[in-house]
Structure 1
Amino acid sequence: MAGRGRTAGFQMGAEHRTKIANSKILNHLIEHAEGKRDMQPTQITAALGLLDRVMPKLSSTTIEGTGENGEHIHQITLVGVRPDGDS
């Protein structure tokens, strides 16, 4: 039978561990919003602060107008802004 799992001495990278930790924070906030988990206001504030550092903020821009032939133009653009300020 072929070996299963990770090889002996395997260490997960820091980036992968960080992604797991961030997903736990997000899951806790989602559970709180759904009423499945009680959180103190300070816990919510701390969790949102941590997410602001690792997840991009999203902003949308709506452009509306009329085209040359009278057609209605409606465009929504969703832009992610990375925490370091680059887009």
Structure 2
Amino acid sequence: MSDQHRVKIQNSNILNALIEHVEGKREMGASQVTAGIALLKKVLPDLSSIEHAGPNGGAIPIDVIRRVIVDPNA
């Protein structure tokens, strides 16, 4: 097994432990939760920092946004 696969498995174990804690299936101390979150921040992208931009990095033109009203009974 390559080192890359081992790292992915370790990262998924951290995520699984945090999810189990949130679901009440695993007891974790505050420092364990903080450490788990800190480790995940190092390996997972922070999606909150993604910005939507239009052409050439500018604003998104209004004509690109389209609203469609659909009849749910059709």
TM-score range, shorter chain: 0.5 to 0.7
Q: Which aligned segments of 4 or more residues in structure 1 are displaced greater than 6 angstroms?
A: none
1:28 maps to 17
Q: Share of identical aligned residues, percent?
A: 53
Aligned residues: 58
Structure 2 unmatched ranges of 5 or more: 53-61, 67-74
Q: When you count strand as a share of all residues, which structure comes out higher? A: 1
**TM-score by structure 2 length?**
0.66
Q: CA RMSD in A?
A: 2.4
